[in-house]
Every structure is written in C-alpha cells, then in structure tokens.
C-alpha cells in the first residue's frame, strides 16, 4: 500500500480514513 509505504518513511505522518476516503496527512511532516 503506497500510503503505508510513505507513512513508514515520513516522520509524524499518518494515514487516516475519513468519509470512506484515504487521506495521507503530512501536515506535521
């Protein structure tokens, strides 16, 4: 999963499910 890939490699990033869509939150990265 590309989101998990980047989440594992980007400090303080996380993947969340919002209204049935994936959002990769990098605001704090």
State pLDDT tens for residues 1-29.
Answer: 787 777 677 777 566 655 555 566 666 55
Domain boundaries, position 6 = 1-28
Burial degree of 6 (CB within 10 A; 0-12, 13-18, 19+)? middle
Task: Return the pLDDT at 2.
Answer: 80
DSSP lists the bridge partners of residue 24 as 15
Contact of 7 with 17, CB cutoff 8 Å: no
Q: How many domains does the chain have?
A: 1
């Amino acid at each position: 999963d590309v989101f998990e890939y980047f989440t594992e490699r980007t400090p303080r990033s996380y993947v969340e499910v919002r209204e049935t869509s994936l959002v990769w939150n990098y605001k704090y990265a």
